Structure 1
Amino acid sequence: MDLFLKIILLIVSVVLTGSILLQSGNSAGLSGSIGGGAEQLFGKKKSQGYEAILSKISTAAAIVFILCSLVLVAFE
């Protein structure tokens, strides 16, 4: 059981890292907040497409990662 959870934790950590690195970053700075706000208000919706899928994957992977970590710590 211990080995199985460690393997799952390894796989989930790789998936979590990859899904976070593939997501596009938020615009930073003053110009990004002005331009990004207008783009978000009038422009592309981030709730569709691959960014939504990556967001759901990273959320699910983070939940599984935390649960596996807690179970491993509780049973050690």
Structure 2
Amino acid sequence: MKTFVIIVHVIVSLIIITTVLGQPAKTYGLSTAISGGAETFFGKNKGRTIEGKLRKLTVFAMILFVITSMLLVYLTGK
């Protein structure tokens, strides 16, 4: 059981790393200040874009990471 949880934990860690690195930066430069009208159009369908899906996958993977971390602490304490 402990080996299975460790394997899942490592896989979830790799998923977190790839999804965080795949997300665009939150810093905005002068070009986004000029073209601010496009941001409001794409803001409505934010959950359907690739960025929205990456964000949801990151949150899901983080929850799994916390759960597997707690399971590993519990299994190691035995």
Quote the offset at 1:25 in angstroms. 0.9
Change (3 A) 1:49 1:73: same
User: Structure 2-normalised TM-score?
Assistant: 0.76
Give the unaligned 5+ runs of structure 2.
none
Change (3 A) 1:3 1:51: same
Quote the offset at 1:48 in angstroms. 2.9
Quote the offset at 1:67 in angstroms. 0.5
Quote the offset at 1:61 in angstroms. 0.3
1:65 aligns with 2:73: no
User: Structure 1-normalised TM-score?
Assistant: 0.78
Q: Secondary structure, in 3 states, of the residue corresponding to 1:26? A: coil
1:9 aligns with 2:9: yes
- Partners of 1:68 and 1:58 in 2: CA distance: 15
Identify, as 1 or 2, the structure richer in helix: 2
Q: Which runs of 4+ in 1 moved over 2 A?
A: 38-44
- Partners of 1:21 and 1:39 in 2: CA distance: 27
